[in-house]
Structure 1
Amino acid sequence: MKYLQSQITELICPRCKNESLDFNNDVICCQNCQQQYEINNKIPLLFWPEDIDAPSGNITNLVKAFYEENPFPNYNDLDSVGSLMQKAKEGIFAKVLDEQLPFGIKVLECGCGTGQLSIFLSIANRTVFGVDMCLNSLKLGQAFKEKYELQRVNFLQMNIFQPIFKPESFHVVISNGVLHHTHNPKLAFSSIAKLVKPGGYIIIGLYHKYGRIWTDVRRLIFNLTGDKFKFLDPRIVDVNLNERKRHTWFMDQYKNPNEYKHTIGEVMVWFAENGFSFVNSIPKSGLGKKFSPDEKLFVAQSPGNALERFLVESSMIFTNSKEGGFFIMIGKKEG
């Protein structure tokens, strides 16, 4: 545990926010409030709940239970570090992100799931922390890390509303496909935004208000027919996916107990209220602009005007439904 303590110097107690943590065998103890946190499979269990009697706490518990039962994605088709890297690079965004993030920086992935992106980004000499509220997901990432002796990635259990890191600890904070499942995505964004260093970046991926329309239609059909007609989802009939992947995709897309949808303009307001300037988005927020494999992710782009954004976002009804109506925003912290 001393090795773990030396690697994670940014930790604070999620209960009292004090930095005085003592690592003892399989327990972390806060010297200020005396709260103790277990370490399971070398994963610090630092999830601190919200008020369990409040509606917000109930939603958090529901989503947590859902992903404990349905870890996403799994490692069934990954038998080496090379296969993980190959899989990650098949996604243009992950490939470009890895190519353009500097070496030697500290990265936090909030809601890392099974940790595949965290592991991928850590291979290129970056220190990466993957946090999630679901222990079963984290165990899959931790097992892969240990099997291949990967030293620059650490997995920890955390409630996104109760951060376990000091403010301004990371050069880059990533949260992809997470905030829209919380009880208050805007508040969740503000929580993780505090962890970005001045001049650093935040990258968030969210479900889109218009891009998600066909998913909502299919969900309604599935609910009315007892989950028949699954062939209506393009991913379900993809011959390249095994049965387990089809199941986890279906559960994640159609059975999640809580989901919100957002727009580019809405997230721009979040950026402004938390001291971030707009840098980039996928899809592009201006007319006639396309995301390309040689995209400069961290070179500031024009956000376009309200009419341009509306036209771009409306087109997502037809262009973005295959991937679940997803969009990504990148912001830079001022200062």
Structure 2
Amino acid sequence: MILLCLAGEQPIPNLLPARFLQPAQTLIAHTGLDASRKSAQRLAGLIGNARLFSIGDGYQIPRILNALLREIDEPEEDVVVNLTGGTKPMALAAFELARQRHYPVVYYQTEGPRGRNQKSMLYRYRFDEQGQLCLEEGYPRELPALITLDDYLKAHLDGYEEKPPTKTSGEMLEDAVAQALKPHVDEIKQRVVPNGVKDQVEIDLLVRCGNHVGVFEIKTGGEGSGKKALDQLTTSAAREYLGTYAARFIVTQASLEDRYKPLASALRVTVIELKEYRPGKPLSQSDSHNLLTLVSNILPTH
């Protein structure tokens, strides 16, 4: 089976179906833009047995369709088309390819319930003899956990490092948060620095619950810390670094200044205040409960 994927800014909706379907070969269509090509290359490195090709301009549907037809020149081939990625014109062209040749299509659901009920859902459709599109039996199907945090980071970044601990007051708070979350998440990474940014970006804490990821900016507090925390989080969790699907959290020892809370809400950032924390100590029962409750509202913890 050949899986056709459309490379865009967000690689996870292509990576998860590829990991689940396990095609013999994955074709990855990208535009002529450097960002699209690099995204396709990172995706190919995680999938294996992938072949990349350019469709040029990502907004001219007839040209995109012709490029797809040239690349898949045998109508009888066993091909599945993933419509989730790329530009909307790329998805329209890929759908037309599937319609003409009666290829099945898949779509990874990128929106839906959050928190404990959040699931990774894959839809698969086929064309019947009359050319009508039908949902295949057994779908939508919930995908199991198919990625690690290393996969997630490598899908979005050209590389990264994990800094060793230095036991500053800020890192002690990070460690306390990590220890409180550890029994309830699948994976944790701390002090992650993307390659090529000269220490301008550091991700304090990352967690993975199934196929879903949370990014944490952790501050001990102080005057002006609210604005700084928001700035750092919106930089480290920007679509250029970690994509649009990562949940974002600010954890602070002191109360976040009220003037920044509406901005945090508008940016879909969850603010968690740990008012009982004492440096060098584990989180109190109350703080741990508050932390887990708010994280569980967004991510499928266990």
Q: TM-score range by the shorter chain?
A: under 0.3
TM-score normalised according to structure 1 size: 0.25
Larger radius of gyration: 2
Answer 1 or 2: higher relative contact order, Cα 8 Å, separation at least 6: 1
